[in-house]
Amino acid sequence: MGRQPDSATTTATFADRLADRVVARESQIVLGLDPDPARLWPVTLGTEAPGATPGQRAGAAVRAHCAALIDAAGPACVAVKPQLACFERLGADGWSALRATVGYARERGLLVLADAKRGDIAVSAAAYAQALVGATATPFGDVEGLGADAFTANPLLGIDALQPLVDGARAAGAGVFVLVRTSNPGAADVEDLRLADVEGGGTVWERLAQIVAQLGGQPSAHSGLADVCAVVGATAPEHVARMRELMPYAPFLLPGIGAQGGRVEDIAPAFAPGRAAALVSASRSIAAAHEATGAPPANAARAEAERLRAAAWSL
């Protein structure tokens, strides 16, 4: 399905590949790639053809920015997480830059988590899986998708809408990170609502956690982890222990460290099942580290990523 053979291991599931990669790189840090064309690093441009459109030039600049960020901070990380919105706003040129960035990260040994937050009814969900981790049959031959190792998904539409995403991911040896409780204040508006009819109480996010556990099933013997994962905001560390109870085998992706106020030290329970059971995501706090320190962008990004890596690895 367009995935390069994983030369480092012979394991097949995303969870097992993740676990091996975390050990090999001694990192649980996910480098967020949220390129804003108006705030790119002053990297070398000039890669675009003469007479290129603004979109083509911006796409080339975004691609160069992401490559420079990967070169700088990637060695301290296990994965990158491109935010699809930031690429889609450049249209087809942005999608080309995204695809190139995915390839660049994979060449450097990083896993790629496409931050897409997709969710739709079954037939459309299957198409999203084709787009992100699969391929599409056409009369002219198969068209490969993005080739990500995993992607984020929105569970509002329920199990029958998630299942095609999980099935498509499994067929490609990829993973799905389902939103359970997000890192923004608005999580209180819907995700935190308390449910009736639940013995002992319970919230919408606890129900979402149960769905994640149900879809994930039993963990692999190799890693002890399942291939249906959860996005769990690091800005609500008081919930992490309960989330781990409800989803004992799910790898967690913890955004919200840094710019959104979360601290690595507060989410230790997430790592209980093992080092690969929790990934710490940081975007602006790495890419914009130079704005606080005054150091060159690459140096500041490398230092901040390494600081986060060491803090998480020591938990």
Q: 192 to 231, contacts with a copy of itself by CB under 8 A?
A: 193-197, 201, 204, 207-208, 211
Q: Which two tokens stand for residue 260?
A: 């959104």
In DSSP notation, 40-80 reads: --------SPTT--HHHHHHHHHHHHHHHHHHHHGGG-SEE
| Phi, psi for residue 120 in degrees, rounded to 5 | -165, 170
Assign 191 to helix, strand or coil: coil
CA 268 to chain centre: 19
CB burial of 285-302 (b: ≥16 within 10 Å; e: otherwise) equals bbbbbbeeeeeebbebbb
HSE value, Cβ hemisphere, 13 Å, CA-based, for 228: 27
Q: Closer to a copy of itself by CB, 99 or 242: give it.
A: 99
141 vs 294 by CB, closer to a copy of itself: 141
Residues 46, 49, 50, 189: which binds a copy of itself (CB under 8 A)?
189
Stretch that binds a copy of itself, among 11-19, 80-88, 244-252, 303-311 (CB under 8 A): 80-88
Q: Least distance (Å) from a copy of itself to the CB of residue 198?
A: 8
Of 9 and 260, nearer to a copy of itself (C-beta) is 260
With CB under 8 A as the contact rule, the residue among 6, 71, 108, 184 that binds a copy of itself is: 184
64-72, 182-190, 290-298, 306-314 -> range binding a copy of itself (CB under 8 A): 182-190
Tell me which amino acid residue 114 is.
A
Q: Residue 179 interacts with a copy of itself (CB under 8 A)?
A: yes
Residue 144: how many CB atoms within 10 A of its CB? 14
CB nearer a copy of itself, residue 93 or residue 227: 93
Q: Least distance in Å: CB of 204 to a copy of itself? A: 6
Q: 180 in helix, strand or coil?
A: strand
Residue number, 158 or 296, with CB nearest to a copy of itself: 158
Told to judge if 81 belongs to the known catalytic residues of this protein, a careful annotator would answer no
Dihedral sign, Cα of residue 228, residue 32, residue 264, residue 207 = negative
Joined together, the tokens standing for residue 86 give 């930031």
Mask: binding to a copy of itself, 241-280, rule CB under 8 A, as x and -?
A: ----------------------------------------
Draw the binding track, 25-54, toward a copy of itself (x: CB under 8 A; -: no contact): ---------x--xx-x-------------x
Q: Measured between alpha carbons, how far is residue 194 from residues 166, 207, 244 in Å?
A: 27, 10, 19
Q: Which of 108, 117, 284, 307 is catalytic?
A: 117
- What is the distance between the terminal CA atoms of the chain, rounded to a whole angstrom? 36
Under the binding rule (CB under 8 A), the answer on residue 178 touching a copy of itself is no
Name which of residues 96 to 115 contact a copy of itself (CB under 8 A). 96, 99, 115
278 φ, ψ (degrees, to nearest 5): -145, 130
Instruction: Please give the full DSSP string across 6-36, using - where no structure is assigned.
Output: -TT----SHHHHHHHHHHHHT--EEEEE---
C-beta of 34 vs 306, nearer to a copy of itself: 34
* Region near a copy of itself per CB under 8 A, out of 125-133, 218-226, 273-281, 297-305: 125-133
Instruction: Using alpha carbons, select from 33, 17, 183, 164 the residue that is nearest to residue 97.
Output: 33
Among 19, 162, 172, 212, binds a copy of itself (CB under 8 A): 162
Q: Is 82 in the site for a copy of itself (CB under 8 A)?
A: no
Interface with a copy of itself (CB under 8 A), residue from 19, 29, 58, 72? 58
Residues involved in catalysis: 117
